[in-house]
C-alpha cells in the first residue's frame, strides 16, 4: 500500500517500532490479537490496528503540500481537515483558515474568495452545492481535494443505486460532514433517507412491515430525507450505504433488519447488496479493538482522539461494554494528581475520575481513532508510565518485543 509524506512530528518512536514489527510478522493484516508490552510495574496492551488510516494520511500530506506549493497565497480549509484538535490547531498555526465549522456554519464568507485563493477540501468531502459555489467563484477545488477514496467509493455506489432505481438509505449521523456530503451526492440520482442507529432502523422496519402507519414517518425522520420523499413510494427498492466511520457491525445489522422487513412484502432483488461500501480501515480498527478486549487481558482502556470524532467514539462504545474506559484527547488529560479528565459520550460532557488504575500491576488497553497521530498515543503511553515508578526502560521493552513481536 502507498505510504505518505507527513510531518515527522506526527510519528512516534514507540508506536512506529511496534507497528513495523507487527507489519513484518503479519503483512496481510490477518492477525487481530493485541500487542502486550510488559513494563514490569504496568502492562500496556496495544490494539493491533489504530491511528491514521489511508484517507487521513493522504489528507494531511495534501494540506502540507498546499502550504509548500503556495507561499504568499491565502489558503483555506472548507472545515476541519479531520476530527482531531491537534492536527487542526497545527494547520491553523501554519496560516490555514477555516471557511466553515463542522456543522456547516460559515465562518468566513465565500463571497470574499478569489480565483487566486487555495481551498482544501477535507477528508470528509463536501456537498455538491458547496462545490458549485466554489466553482462559481473561480476557485480550483480539484488540486487539493483530499476527500477520502473510501468516501468517494460510497458516493459512486450510491450513484449506481440511483441509476438502478433504488432509494439510498444512509446509515450515519445526520449532522456529520461526511453524511451531509454523501446525501448531497446521492440525491443527484436517488431519493435519500438517513438512519442514525439500530433503534431508528427498527422503527422504519416496523413501518415497512405494516406494523406502524406511514403517517408516523415524519415524526421520526423529519429533516432526514431529500425533498419530496414519499416513504410508501420510495421504500419499495432500497440499498444501504454508510458514513464510513460508523460501526461496521451496526451497518450490517441495519442492512439485515431492513432487508428482512422489505422482503416480507417485496422480491429479494428489491434490496441491493452494498457490503462493499464498508471502509476497511474503520473495520480493521474496530476488529482490532474487539480482539484486544477478547484477549481478556485488559483491565482498563484509554481511547485517544478528538471528542467530535465519530470513529473514535465507536471504539469507546466497544471498550466500555467490557472494561472501565476513558476517552481522552491527549496526555494532558492524565493529571498530575493521578486523576483523569475524560469525555463522557453519554452526557456529552467532560468528567474527572480519580484512582483510575486497578491495584497491583494493571494492564491498560490503549487505542486511538483514525484521526489521531501516533505521536499523541506515544505521549499518552509515556505519561501512563510516569504514574508507575520503577517501570522498565522503553527501549529495553521494545527491543525485547522486536525479537518476538506479538
Parse the chain into domains and list their residue ranges.
8-53+280-403, 54-136, 149-277
Res 248: pLDDT: 82
Mean pLDDT of 329-351: 95
- Residue of 279 and 344 predicted with greater confidence: 344
CA–CA gap between residue 149 and residue 244 (Å, rounded):
11
Percent of the chain with pLDDT over 70: 97
Q: Pick the catalytic residue: 131, 177, 178, 250?
A: 178
Res 5: pLDDT: 63
235 touches 212 (CB < 8 A): no
Cβ count within 10 A of residue 72: 5
CA–centroid distance for 140 within its chain = 27
Burial-class residue 381 by CB neighbours within 10 Å (0-12, 13-18, 19+).
buried
Q: Which of 1-10, 214-223, 261-270, 384-393 has the lowest mean pLDDT?
A: 1-10
Catalytic-residue membership of 178: yes
Name the region of 388 (left: φ>0; alpha: ψ -120 to 50; beta: rest): beta
Answer yes or no: same fold for 8-53+280-403 and 54-136. no
323 touches 301 (CB < 8 A): yes
CA–CA gap between residue 31 and residue 377 (Å, rounded):
21
Mean pLDDT of 127-154: 94
CA–centroid distance for 250 within its chain = 14
CA–centroid distance for 177 within its chain = 11
Is residue 406 predicted with pLDDT exceeding 70?
A: no
Cα angle at 67 between 61 and 70, to 5 degrees? 130
Sheet holding 75-77, edge to edge: 97-98, 75-77, 118-120
Query: Cell numbers of 87, please?
Result: 492536527
Q: Helices (DSSP H) in 28-95: which residue ranges?
A: 54-69, 85-93
Res 80: pLDDT: 79
Confidence of residue 17 (pLDDT cuts 50, 70, 90): very high
At the topology level, CATH places domain 54-136 in Rossmann fold (3.40.50)
CA distances from 198 to 166, 201, 204, 254, 328 (A): 21, 5, 10, 6, 26
**Helix or strand or coil: residue 341?**
strand
pLDDT tens readout for residues 23-75? 898 888 889 999 999 999 999 999 999 988 888 888 888 998 999 999 999 99
The total number of residues written for the chain in this structure: 406
Query: Cell numbers of 139, please?
Result: 476557485
Mean pLDDT of 76-100: 87
For all residues of the chain together, what is the average pLDDT? 92
Res 87: pLDDT: 84
Cβ count within 10 A of residue 362: 18
CATH assignment of 8-53+280-403? 3.40.1010.20
The distance in angstroms from the start CA to the end CA of the chain is 22
pLDDT tens readout for residues 270-287? 999 887 676 778 888 999
Place of cell 495534501: 62
Residue among 270, 307, 277, 293 at smallest CA distance from 367: 293
pLDDT tens readout for residues 98-138? 999 888 899 999 999 999 999 999 989 999 999 999 999 99
Mean pLDDT of 363-368: 97
Is residue 376 predicted with pLDDT exceeding 80?
A: yes
Percent of the chain with pLDDT over 90: 74
pLDDT tens readout for residues 153-179? 999 999 999 999 999 999 999 999 999
Res 3: pLDDT: 53
Question: pTM for the whole thing?
Answer: 0.83
Considering the segment(s) 149-277 as one domain, its CATH architecture is 3-Layer(aba) Sandwich (3.40)
Amino acid at each position: 500500500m502507498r505510504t505518505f509524506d507527513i510531518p515527522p512530528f506526527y510519528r512516534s518512536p514507540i508506536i512506529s517500532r511496534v507497528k513495523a514489527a507487527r507489519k513484518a510478522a503479519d503483512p496481510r493484516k490477518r492477525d487481530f490479537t493485541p500487542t502486550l508490552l510488559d513494563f514490569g510495574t504496568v502492562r500496556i496492551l496495544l490494539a493491533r490496528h489504530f491511528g491514521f488510516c489511508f484517507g487521513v494520511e493522504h489528507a494531511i500530506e495534501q494540506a502540507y503540500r498546499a502550504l509548500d506549493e503556495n507561499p504568499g497565497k491565502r489558503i483555506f480549509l472548507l472545515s476541519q481537515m479531520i476530527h482531531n484538535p491537534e492536527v487542526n490547531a497545527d494547520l491553523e498555526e501554519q496560516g490555514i483558515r477555516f471557511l466553515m465549522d463542522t456543522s456547516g456554519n460559515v465562518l468566513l464568507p465565500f463571497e470574499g474568495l478569489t480565483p487566486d485563493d487555495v481551498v482544501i477540501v477535507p477528508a470528509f468531502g463536501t456537498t455538491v452545492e458547496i462545490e458549485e459555489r466554489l466553482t462559481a467563484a473561480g476557485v480550483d477545488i480539484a488540486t487539493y481535494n483530499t476527500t477520502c477514496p473510501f468516501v468517494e467509493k460510497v458516493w459512486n455506489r450510491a450513484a449506481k443505486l440511483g441509476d438502478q432505481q433504488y432509494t439510498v438509505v444512509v446509515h450515519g449521523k445526520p449532522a456529520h460532514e461526511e453524511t451531509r456530503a454523501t446525501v448531497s451526492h446521492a440525491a443527484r440520482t436517488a431519493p435519500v433517507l438517513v438512519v442514525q442507529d439500530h433503534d431508528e432502523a427498527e422503527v422504519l422496519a416496523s413501518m415497512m412491515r405494516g406494523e406502524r402507519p406511514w403517517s408516523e414517518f415524519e415524526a421520526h425522520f423529519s429533516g432526514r430525507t431529500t425533498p419530496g420523499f414519499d416513504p410508501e413510494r420510495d421504500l419499495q427498492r432500497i440499498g444501504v450505504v454508510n458514513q464510513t466511520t460508523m460501526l461496521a457491525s451496526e451497518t450490517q445489522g441495519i442492512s439485515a433488519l431492513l432487508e428482512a422487513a422489505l422482503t416480507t412484502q417485496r422480491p429479494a432483488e428489491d434490496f441491493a447488496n452494498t457490503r462493499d461500501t464498508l471502509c476497511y480501515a474503520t473495520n480493521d480498527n474496530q476488529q482490532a479493538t474487539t480482539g484486544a478486549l477478547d484477549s481478556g487481558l485488559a483491565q482498563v482502556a484509554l481511547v485517544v482522539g478528538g471528542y467530535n470524532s465519530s470513529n473514535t467514539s465507536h471504539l469507546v462504545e466497544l471498550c466500555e461494554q467490557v472494561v472501565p474506559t476513558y476517552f481522552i484527547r491527549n496526555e494532558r488529560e492524565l493529571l498530575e494528581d493521578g486523576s483523569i479528565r475524560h469525555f463522557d459520550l453519554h452526557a456529552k460532557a467532560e468528567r474527572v475520575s480519580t484512582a483510575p488504575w486497578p491495584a497491583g500491576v494493571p494492564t491498560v488497553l490503549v487505542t486511538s481513532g483514525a484521526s489521531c497521530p501516533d505521536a499523541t498515543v506515544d505521549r499518552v503511553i509515556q505519561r501512563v508510565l510516569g504514574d508507575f515508578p520503577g517501570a522498565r526502560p522503553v527501549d529495553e521493552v521494545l527491543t525485547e518485543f522486536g525479537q518476538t513481536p506479538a
